[in-house]
Structure 1
Amino acid sequence: MGFSKNLHKHLAAFGIAALCFGYFASYIPFSMLTKMLTRGMLPGMNGVGVSGFEIQPVAALGTCIGMYLFITLSKWWKFATHSKILGVSVPRPQWFTFISGICTSGIIVTTVLAYTFQGISIVFAMLLMRGGVLIMAPVIDMIVKRRKRKIYWPSWIASALSFGALIIAFSGKAGTAITFIAGADICLYLFSYFFRLYFMSNRAKGDSTDERKRYFVEEQMVANPAMLILLFIIGWFGSASDPVGVAGGFWQGFVSFPFKGYFLITLLIGLLSYSVGLFGTLIFLDKRENTFTVPANRSSSIMAGVVATYLLYMFFGGKAPATDELVGAGMIIVAIVFLAYRSTMDKRKAALKMANKSKPGL
C-alpha cells in the first residue's frame, strides 16, 4: 500500500482527532526549538541566541522541502489546476488560492517570529494569536456567502471569553514587554488569517474531497516559495542596513547564518513548521463551519504551548508561565468548549432528523 493510500486510510479511521494530534505533536518541538535557538538555550550557545530574523530564510527553505516532499509522496499534484506550457502540463494556482497562499506565507513568518521576541513567552504569544483567531471564527461564518448563518449564543460567549483572555494576558508583565515590532507581527498574523479563512470558507469547505485537496495543493505551492522569495527581496534591499534590524537580519540569514553551525537545527524548525501548517490546514479544510474547525485547531496549539513552556522550564532553564497567562489559557480552553458545543448540537439534530425520516409513516 502506497503512502497516499496509507495516509487516506489512517485519516479516515481517526478523522479530525488524528489531525489535531499531529498538530499538537508537531507544535511542541517546533515552538521549543525556535525559543531555544533564539534564546541561546542549545548546548554550546551559553545563553547567546541568534536573531529571529536571521533564522527565517533557512526555516523557509525547510518548509519548502517539506511541502514538495509531502505533495509528491501523497500524489496530490494531480488535484491542482493545470495549464500547458510548451506542451507540458504544469500545476498552477487559481486567483483565490494565490491570495490565500500569500496570506499563508505571512502566517508562517509571523508565527516563527512570535516565539523569538525577548520577554514574551510561548503561552503569551499563543494567547494573542489563538484568541484573536477564535474571535474571528463566528464573524467569518456570518459573512461568508456560502455559509451565511445565524451566530448562536455559544459562539458569542466564546468570543467574550477569548477577549477576556486577551485582556488578562495584557494585564500581566508580558503585556508591558510587548514591543512595536512584536505587536505588528501579531496584527499581521491575524490580518493574514482573516483573509485566508474567508477564501477557504468560500471556496473549499464543502462535500468534495477533491476540491479540498485542490485548494490545499494550490495554496501550499504558492505559500512556501513566495515566503522564501519575499524574504530574499526584503533582505536584498536591506543588505547594507543594520544586521540587527528586520531587513538586515533577513539578509544575514542568507549570507552568513547558514555557516554558523545551526543550519540543520533551523532546517528542522522549518520542517516542523510545515508539519504544523500541514495538519492545521487540513483541520481548517474540514467541511464543517469555522466555529468547529477553529476551536479544534486552537485547542491543540494552546495545549502544545503550555506543554512546551513547562518542558523548557523543567529541563532547559526557561521561565515558567505566569499565572495570568495560565488563567488566559484556561479561558481559551473554556471558550473552545462553548464553540464545540454548537457543532455537537448540530450533529445531534441532524442525526435525529435522519432517524425521523427513516421511520415509516412519517
Structure 2
Amino acid sequence: MRLKNLPLEGFVVLYFFAYIPNILITKLLASKIEPTLGRPLTGLEILPSSLIINLVLTYLFIWLAKWYKDANQFSYGNRSFPIPSKYTFFSSIGTALVLFTVPLSYTFKDVSIPFIQLIMRGDILIIAPLVDTLFGRRVRWWSWAALVMVFIALAITVTDRGKLGLPPLAIATIVLYTLGYFIRLLVMTKVSKTGDPASVRKYFVEEKILALPLSVLFLAILGLSGIGSQASELSWGFLGVWQSQAILPIFGISFTLTIVSIFAAIILLDKRENSYCVPLERASSLLAGLIAAYLLAIFWGLRAPTAAEMIGACILIAAILLLSLAPRFDAKKKRNQNASSAPPANPITEK
C-alpha cells in the first residue's frame, strides 16, 4: 500500500515505531558515561548537534521528495525559493520552541520519561479543544471522552509521584513546549486542516525551513550569553561533540526525529478536529515513551515504569482504540440510517 493511501491510524503506527528509538538513544546518551567528558551528556550538550543534523536531513527530504514545490515561493532572477507565509512564520517560532524542548525533556535526572511526557502532553490536550472552539470546529463525543481518559492517566501518575518535584529547567521546558504547540495548533487550524495533501506539504516546508535554523539560533544565543554552566555545556554541544564518540548516536537521534516530524505533521494536519488528532498523536507518543522506558529498564538497567505509569499507559491504549474505532462505527451507523430512510426504487422509472 502506498503511504498516500494509508489511513490516519497507519501513520500513527509509523510515528509510534519511529519515536521509540529516538527516545532510547536520547535517554542512553544522558545516562551513560561519555569517554571524552567522563560523565553522561546533558540535554544541552546533545541538542545543538542533533538539531543541526536534523536541519540538514529535513532540508534533504524536502528537496528529494520535491515538497518544496507546494510551498510559497520567493523569486530571485531565474530561481525561486520556498519561504514562509505570514502565518507559517509565526508557526515556525512555535515549532522552534517544540524542537529543542522535546529532546531536552528526556534528559532530566530523576525524572522518568512517562512522567515528563504525561505532564507535557496533558497541557496540549487542554489546548486542543480550546483551539477548536476558537475556530468554531465541532468537537465530537469520542474526542471529549479520549481527552478525559488522558486526563485520568495524568492524574493517576502525578498522584502516585506525590508532587511534581521538577527542576527549574524542566518547568521552563514544559512552559515553552506548551506555548510552542499552542502557536502551532492555531496556525494549523487557520491555514492547513483542509484534508488536501498539498496543504500538508506546503505547511511542513514553510514551517520547517525557518523553524529549524531558529531553534539552532536560540541555542547559540543562550550559549553566547555566558550564563552559568549551561553556556559551557552548549559550547561543547556546538564544538566539542563533533570529535566525540557521541556523534554517531546523535545522528540516530536526528534521523529518527526527522521521520517523527513528518508523520506528526500528517497526523496533526488531518482535516478532523484538533480534539481528535491531538489525543491520537499524544497518546501514541506517550505509549512509545512507556515502551522505551521498559526497554531501557530491561536491557540497560535504568528505572522501570511504576505501576501507576503502567495504569496510565493502559488508559492511553484505550483512548487510542476509542479514537480509531468510534468514528468508523458512527459513519457506519449514519450510512445504515440513510439507507433505511431512502425511498424504495420505482420499478417503472427504473425501466
TM-score (norm 2): 0.89
Cα distance between partner residues in 1 of 2:307 and 2:111 = 14
The answer to whether structure 1 residue 31 and structure 2 residue 10 are counterparts is: no
2:271 paired residue among 274, 283, 287: 287
Cα distance between partner residues in 2 of 1:12 and 1:250 = 40
Supply the AA of the counterpart residue of 2:270: D
Give the stretch that moved more between structures: 340-349 or 320-329: 340-349
Distance change in 2, residues 1:31/1:86 (3 Å): same
What's the counterpart of residue 86 of structure 2?
95
Cα distance between partner residues in 1 of 2:228 and 2:243 = 19
2:239 paired residue among 229, 236, 255: 255
2:14 paired residue among 3, 22, 39: 22
Cα distance between partner residues in 1 of 2:329 and 2:129 = 16
Aligned residues: 346
Cα distance between partner residues in 1 of 2:337 and 2:61 = 40
Supply the AA of the counterpart residue of 1:170: V
The answer to whether structure 1 residue 215 and structure 2 residue 203 are counterparts is: yes
Cα distance between partner residues in 2 of 1:70 and 1:174 = 44
Cα distance between partner residues in 2 of 1:72 and 1:323 = 46
SS in 2 for 1:90: strand
Distance change in 2, residues 1:176/1:229 (3 Å): closer
Distance change in 2, residues 1:176/1:212 (3 Å): closer
Cα distance between partner residues in 2 of 1:33 and 1:200 = 30
**What does 1:137-148 align with in structure 2 at a 5 Å threshold?**
137-144=128-135, 148=136
8 Å Cα contact 1:80/1:217 also seen in 2: yes
Distance change in 2, residues 1:47/1:122 (3 Å): farther
8 Å Cα contact 2:195/2:270 also seen in 1: no
Cα distance between partner residues in 1 of 2:53 and 2:235 = 17
**TM-aligned CA deviation for residue 345 of structure 1:** 5.3
Cα distance between partner residues in 2 of 1:333 and 1:134 = 16
Distance change in 2, residues 1:317/1:47 (3 Å): farther
What's the counterpart of residue 114 of structure 1?
105
Give the stretch that moved more between structures: 31-40 or 11-20: 11-20
Cα distance between partner residues in 2 of 1:18 and 1:342 = 16
What's the counterpart of residue 307 of structure 1?
291
Give the stretch that moved more between structures: 216-225 or 290-299: 290-299
Cα distance between partner residues in 2 of 1:230 and 1:290 = 28
Cα distance between partner residues in 2 of 1:357 and 1:288 = 27
What's the counterpart of residue 297 of structure 1?
281
Q: Which one has the largest radius of gyration?
A: 2
Give the stretch that moved more between structures: 23-32 or 262-271: 262-271
Distance change in 2, residues 1:359/1:292 (3 Å): farther
Supply the AA of the counterpart residue of 1:316: W
What's the counterpart of residue 12 of structure 1?
4
Supply the AA of the counterpart residue of 1:191: L
Q: Deviations over 1:253-290 (max 9, x none)?
A: 11223223211211221221121111111111112222
What's the counterpart of residue 52 of structure 2?
61
What's the counterpart of residue 349 of structure 2?
none
Distance change in 2, residues 1:153/1:286 (3 Å): closer
The answer to whether structure 1 residue 242 and structure 2 residue 228 are counterparts is: yes
The answer to whether structure 1 residue 183 and structure 2 residue 171 are counterparts is: yes
Unaligned runs of 5+ in 1: 1-8
Q: Deviations over 1:90-142 (max 9, x none)?
A: 21110111111221121111100100000111111221122222232222222
The answer to whether structure 1 residue 164 and structure 2 residue 152 are counterparts is: yes
Supply the AA of the counterpart residue of 1:305: G
SS in 2 for 1:84: strand
Distance change in 2, residues 1:153/1:18 (3 Å): closer
Distance change in 2, residues 1:136/1:329 (3 Å): farther
8 Å Cα contact 2:92/2:211 also seen in 1: yes
TM-score (norm 1): 0.86
SS in 1 for 2:228: coil
Unaligned runs of 5+ in 2: 347-351
Supply the AA of the counterpart residue of 1:64: L
Distance change in 2, residues 1:35/1:352 (3 Å): same
Cα distance between partner residues in 2 of 1:360 and 1:207 = 34
What's the counterpart of residue 5 of structure 1?
none
8 Å Cα contact 1:135/1:162 also seen in 2: no
8 Å Cα contact 1:291/1:340 also seen in 2: no
